[in-house]
Amino acid sequence: MFFHTLARIIYIFFMQYPTKILLAELLFCLSTKRRKHFWWRFIPCVLIFLALPFCFGYYNSWMVIGGWYSLSFLIHFILSIALILFCFHFSWKQAVFYCSSAYAVEHCFDCLQRIAKRLFEEQGIPLNIYCKLALYLGIMCVTFFFFYFIFIRKIRNLDDSVIKNNLVIFMSVTTILVTNVMSVWIGHVGYDIYHKIYDAIACGLLIMSYYILLYF
């Protein structure tokens, strides 16, 4: 009973959007210079940030526009950028670009884990909490490691002036807004496995477009 409850708590914790987006963003911060008194900044901010969905939820009435669009995901994303800026030595343009790229990585992972769960459901294969947790964390690790070694490490080696280019920042902000609105809309009207496959491919292509734009 204890381990079952523990597994459920861990599963719920990792399913929260702030947890996923922060982990993805921290991949871009591994080799970044930290600000003074880093741990005094980082630990309280992370604890508050990760507690937000448990305190306020995602679909409170004051967060919902037009009966379907929830501002909560966008608010969490903006707060995550502020957290990264507060704890690491980034300019605001660098933070916007890296966090936008992290958003695409996180969204790709979310689509992949939903596809995997839906495949098991359609095959009539029940998953207990331990299997769900192992599947979820496994897909997370594979997705994050893949993008880290294929994309993130190379992007972090680029000259900062390239990332601060206004066109790159414009693309980052625009694609995040479009992806956010479309994902909330699909979540509102319902989705099938093909929606998520398309979604995952679109995020992968988005990250590739960042890579091409920066290098060529």
Q: Quickly count: other Cβ atoms within 10 Å of residue 86's Cβ.
A: 13
Q: 97 φ, ψ to 5°? A: -65, -50
Range 55-80 average pLDDT: 79
**H-type alpha helices, the chain:** 2-15, 17-26, 38-56, 72-87, 92-122, 129-147, 153-156, 160-163, 166-189, 193-215
Closest CA to 50 of 83, 28, 27, 98: 83
pLDDT in tens, 93-147: 888 888 888 988 898 898 899 889 888 888 888 888 999 999 999 999 999 998 8
Contact 42, 70 (CB under 8 A): no
Distance CA 64, CA 188 (A): 12
Q: Which has the minimum average pLDDT: 3-7, 85-89, 157-161, 170-174?
A: 157-161
Reply yes or no on whether the pLDDT at 67 is more than 80: no
Q: What's the structural domain count of the chain?
A: 1
Position 159 scores a pLDDT of 61
Residue 85 pLDDT: 95
Structural domain boundaries enclosing 36: 2-215
pLDDT of residue 100: 87
Percent of the chain with pLDDT over 90: 33
Average pLDDT, the chain: 83
Question: How high is the pLDDT of residue 215?
Answer: 60
Q: How many residues does the chain have?
A: 216
Give strand ranges (E) for the chain: 64-65, 69-70
Three-state SS at 89: coil
Is it the case that residue 188 has pLDDT exceeding 70? no
- CA–CA separation, 195 vs 163, rounded Å? 31
pLDDT given for residue 38 in this prediction? 94
State mean pLDDT over 157-168. 66
Higher pLDDT, 162 or 30: 30
pLDDT surpasses 70 at 212: no
Lowest mean per-residue pLDDT among 53-57, 65-69, 124-128:
65-69
Average pLDDT over residues 155-162: 65
Least confident of 37-51, 123-137, 187-201: 187-201
Alpha helix segments (H runs only) across 64-128? 72-87, 92-122
Q: What is the pLDDT of residue 57?
A: 74
